[in-house]
Amino acid sequence: MLQSGTGNEAHIIDSGLSNVAYVTQVGGGGVVNVSNVTQSGIDNFAQSYQNGSDLESTITQSDNNNMAIVDQRGLTLASTVTQSTDGNQAYVTQSASNYTSTVTQNGPANVAVVWQH
């Protein structure tokens, strides 16, 4: 976890085994950037990179062998990734301003790619 600037918040809750979570937030400037990662399974990987202001990402992984990567830049962006079964992959990239994405993976071995520019 690396945070630069003011007003950034990162919350990582890991109640599983062999999970990895990375959060990097840059910017802020008095406007809060928030990253939430919750992992309760085994061998999950979560990465949230945010750059800019008023950005929020939430990654929830409640089963095993999931991967979620969120890369946001710009202003007023929000991303939510929920993975509740095994072997899912989600890749989210958002830039510019005022975008929202939601990825929900309830079945096994799904791949989701979101690219908003």
pLDDT digits (tens, 9 = 90+) for 42-81: 999 999 999 988 999 999 999 999 999 999 999 999 999 9
Length in residues, the chain: 117
pLDDT of 2 strictly over 60: no
pLDDT at 35: 95
Confidence band, pLDDT 50/70/90 cuts, at residue 4: low
pLDDT at 27: 77
Q: Note whether 4 and 24 are within 8 A (CB).
A: no
88: CB partners within 8 A, 6+ apart = 66, 67, 105, 108, 109, 110, 111, 112
48: CB partners within 8 A, 6+ apart = 10, 22, 23, 24, 25, 35, 37, 57, 59, 70
Looking at the whole model, is its pTM more than 0.85? yes
pLDDT at 1: 64
* C-alpha–C-alpha distance, residues 29 and 15, integer Å: 32
Neighbours of 97 (CB within 10 A): 13
Q: Which residue from 86, 80, 112, 116 is spatially nearest to 98, judged by alpha carbons?
A: 116
Task: Tell me the average pLDDT of the chain.
Answer: 92
